[in-house]
Amino acid sequence: MKGTQNMAKQAAAHAALGYISPGMKLGLGSGSTAEFFVQALAAKGKEMDIRASATSARTEMLAQSLGIALFPLAELAPLDLTIDGADELDANLTLIKGGGGALLREKIVATASRRMIVIADEQKVVPQLGRFPLPIEVVPFAWQITMLHIDERARRVGCAGAIARREKNDEPFITDNGNFILDCAFGKIPNTEVLAAVLGTIPGIVEHGLFLDLADTALIGGPEGVRVMKSPRRK
């Protein structure tokens, strides 16, 4: 299963090369699919005069090791295109991101781009978002209180479920920004706009993993090859 899924991720990542033109300023996503893309890009990057900004320290390290020309986002923005993975996406190309803990920089980079293209394997496409627990980045200060507020307010909009601070090797997982991630197992999210609006009012939340109206295209790898999904909202 893992092997097939990786092949699908790789196929989607390679298909994204078709959207790159010489001289482009690119946002490089995070996660295994985005890393496949960074590796594929490296072969072409120099001859195409590509400049890029990374969405995580890990992607930055990889891109650097492959000789991709990297710049701080503030110097390079606006970007022409960001290519990134997702944990889940629906037919509107609303995304859940943050499985790798990079959602804040991913959202900043995508927002500073004229376009975002998602690359993913077929298993990430769902009729309704929420099977994958929603990651939320919170400041460490009194994070337990922030968690209570998330629980209370999310319940009011039909999102009830276990919320847990992400751990790695029995320690709290710390993001590139020095924050914690809360994984919220809400189950199916009845209305992503409403939930995003509610989360936007809670102090202590730095950013949440719902990406609304950012991606216009998704390249989905599967056993039959790569299919293209277009956002009905952003043509």
For 195, phi then psi, to 5°, come to: -60, -45
Closest CA to 200 of 93, 107, 83: 107
* Beta-carbon count within 10 A of 90 CB: 17
Say which residues have a Cβ less than 8 Å from residue 142's Cβ, sequence separation at least 6. Answer: 204
For ligand 5RP, the closer of residues 149 and 184 by Cβ is 184
For ligand 5RP, the closer of residues 7 and 48 by Cβ is 7
In the complex, what is the shortest distance from the CB of residue 52 to ligand 5RP, in angstroms, rounded to a whole number? 16
- Per DSSP, helices labelled H in the chain are 2-16, 32-45, 57-65, 73-76, 103-111, 143-156, 192-199
Catalytic pick from 106, 152, 193, 224?
106
Give the residue, chosen from 60, 80, 87, 207, that forms a contact with ligand 5RP under the rule CB under 6 A: 87
Candidates 31-39, 153-161, 172-180, 226-234; binding stretch for ligand 5RP (CB under 6 A): 31-39
* 130 is a site residue for ligand 5RP (CB under 6 A): no
Contact at 8 Å (CB) between 93 and 166?
no
Q: Is 106 a catalytic residue?
A: yes
Closest CA to 122 of 223, 3, 222: 222
Candidates 32-40, 161-169, 175-183, 219-227; binding stretch for ligand 5RP (CB under 6 A): 32-40
> Considering only residues 89-108, where is the footprint of ligand 5RP by CB under 6 A?
97-103, 106
For 228, phi then psi, to 5°, come to: -105, 130
Identity of residue 126 = V
> Considering only residues 55-84, where is the footprint of ligand 5RP by CB under 6 A?
84
* 31 is a site residue for ligand 5RP (CB under 6 A): yes
Give the residue, chosen from 85, 130, 221, 222, that forms a contact with ligand 5RP under the rule CB under 6 A: 85
Residue numbers at the binding site for ligand 5RP (CB under 6 A)? 29-34, 84-87, 97-103, 106
Active site residues: 106
